[in-house]
Structure 1
Amino acid sequence: MIKSMTGYGTAVKDNGKVKYSVEIKSLNSKFLELNLRLPKAVSDKELTLRTECSKLIERGKVNLSVNVEYSDQTAKASTINADLLKKYYTQLQQIAFELGDKQVSLFELALNMPEVIANNDNEVDEEESRLLLEAFYAAVEQFNIFRADEGAVLSQDLTDRVELILTYLTEVEAVEMDRIPLIRERIGHYLEETVGKENVDKNRFEQELIYYIDKLDITEEKVRLRSHCTYFQKALKASDSNGKKLGFISQEMGREINTLGSKANHAGIQQIVVKMKEELEKIKEQLLNVL
């Protein structure tokens, strides 16, 4: 069954020391456009998350955000290298004294010197990494459930519209038999008005009429359109169904509908063809959001 490219999933994993929250949102896109928002502590997991997203999400404009919370807020707090700070401060005082500076902001300047403040959130241990991936996979699972539910709604809508096209095709067949007598009558009147009734070669007229009607025959278009619609419905229910494949089938449906309209030479059929085109355009719009 098909899935929608629109999706949402979230999951939280907590081991008592740290809690990871993962949120995934997506909209339709021809390719995978992945935007990751990760805390610095798990920045080294970006490549892993991107690789898994490409396998599990496939396509869509995806936003993945990760949030981390520690039960002990001091566990990952920054630390100050006091010895280095004192050394910087003493040196700055000496230089300031030699230059006659008022020494107003020396402490702040020393505090911002390299390696005075050390961050402890540069990396996470193996247990935390495993917890992060558990939260990620749980969010992906919810995300795919959302996509499948949306896909079921899309599938029903697409099925209904294809059935409507087939209904319109039946209406075409119902009025099709009126075409030949009308064409014959119209051409006959035109010849009589142009060259005169007594000058019309009946045998030649019948030969030309058969050739002309054969050019306007829509039997092949009807057969192919019905076949494409049936194939579309079959592909819609297949386990490997995807939006690109359905898009190709809809293009073939469009070709047959257009040809049918151009060859109809009948106002009633052309009006029905317009209705077919309306439904096909709605199908193509829906397919833009199918995975």
Structure 2
Amino acid sequence: SHQVVDGREILVEIKAVNHRYFEFAARVPRTYGYLEEKLKSLTAGQVSRGKIEINVSIYTTSGQDEDVVINRSLVKGYLDALRGIQDEFGLTDDLSLSVAARFPDAFNIHKIIEDENVVWEAVKPVAEEALQKFSQMRVHEGENLKEDLLGKIQEMEEIIEKIEIRSPLVVQSYRTRLYERLKEVLEDKNIEEQRVLTEAALFAEKIAVDEETVRLHSHMQQFREILQLDEPIGRKLDFLVQEMNRETNTIGSKASDLDTTKMVIDLKALIEKVREQIQNIE
């Protein structure tokens, strides 16, 4: 945002990158360092997540930011000394203004001290306008991000459905293999076949992922519902993504076939993309 306020040309620029928490940095002219805390407070009232950097440039257009002060006693001393030289040696050259202007330290340039509140009242509306434009841009980006996230959630659910279709087949295959192996090992132990079947079934059920996929579907639905809320949702989405990742890791640890393992890898890749994208959501 750029404005001219009370004889000052003020430029405020805002940059932001994704971050889980709110981090703020300001670059202001050295003499206006006191503006940093005020800008941080103003920004924190409108932005809750992300690394935010605000750059402020201030130029005085009235030409009144510095004052030239004549060192009168020093100039008088120079002139008295020069007149003494004239009288003593009979010199006739005139002492002109151009000569006086070249006296060392004859003039001092003082920076005019500006009232901090006056400066802030000039900078504040420019910063507010920049933040408003920044917020509008984020709303527009947020709509695009929302559509992209919904697309990824849909992809994730399609993978979960494939895992659900495959899971009972994997469990049955594992049960059969385990049953055959147990029969072979216990062949001469005179153990009832029904007991062998029961033990095989119990062990096989340990690789079933029904509970995990049900919870994942629930998390996906919650994710969609949260995206519709008109309030800060970043931390809620963060928590859900962590839960999705936990359930997916559990499925991966139970996976006993290559196809399921590949699907888990694809699912984890999508979850990671979603996790990265939600880092800058309020």
Opposite residue 264 of structure 2, the aligned amino acid is V
Conserved? CA contact 1:243–1:288, under 8 Å: yes
Q: Select which of 229, 234, 238 maps to 2:220.
A: 229
Paired residues for 1:10-29 under 5 Å: 11-15=1-5, 17-29=7-19
Distance 2:274 2:187 in 1: 51
5+ residue gaps, structure 2: 83-101
Match of 1:118 among 91, 106, 110: 110
Per-residue displacement from partner, 1:227-261 (whole Å, max 9, x unpaired)? 11111222222222433321211110011111122
Residues in 1 aligned to 2:183 and 2:5: alpha-carbon distance in whole angstroms: 94
Equivalent residue, structure 2, for 1:279: 270
Give the corresponding residue for 2:46.
Answer: 56
Q: What percent identity do the matched residue pairs reach?
A: 25
Residues 75 and 106, structure 2, Cα contact 8 Å, conserved in 1: no
What TM-score do the two structures reach when normalised by structure 1?
A: 0.77
Gaps of at least 5 residues in structure 1 are 1-10, 94-105
Instruction: Compare CA radii of gyration and give the structure with the larger one.
Output: 2
The number of residue pairs the alignment matches comes to: 262
CA RMSD of aligned residues (A): 3.1
Partner of 2:94: none
**Residues 31 and 61, structure 1, Cα contact 8 Å, conserved in 2:** yes
Instruction: Tell me: CA distance 1:122–1:205, structure 2 relative to 1, closer, same or farther (3 Å).
Output: same
CA distance in 1 between partners of 2:253 and 2:267 (Å): 13
Query: Which residue in the other structure is 2:243 paired with?
Result: 252
Question: Cα offset for 1:146?
Answer: 1.9
Q: Choose between structure 1 and 2 for higher RCO, CA contacts under 8 A separated by at least 6 residues.
A: 1
Summarize the alignment of residues 170-189 of structure 1 with structure 2, pairs less than 5 Å apart.
170-189=161-180
Is 1:209 the counterpart of 2:200 in the alignment? yes
Q: Which residue of 2 aligns with 1:67?
A: 57
Structure 1 residues 197 and 137: alpha-carbon distance in aligned structure 2, compared to 1, 3 A threshold: same
Give the letter aligned to residue 67 of structure 2.
S
Task: Tell me the secondary structure at the aligned position of residue 178 of structure 1.
Answer: helix
CA distance in 1: counterparts of 2:186 and 2:117, whole angstroms: 97
Deviation string, structure 1 residues 40-96 (Cα, Å, up to 9, x no partner): 3x55544322321221233333222222334433x2233223325537868999xxx
Per the normalisation by structure 2, the TM-score is: 0.79
- 1:85/1:174 CA distance change after superposition, 3 Å: farther
The one-letter code sitting in structure 1 at the alignment partner of 2:68 is: T
Matches within 5 A, 1:40-189: 40=31, 42-73=32-63, 75-83=64-72, 85-86=74-75, 107-108=103-104, 110=105, 116-120=108-112, 122-123=114-115, 126=118, 129-189=120-180
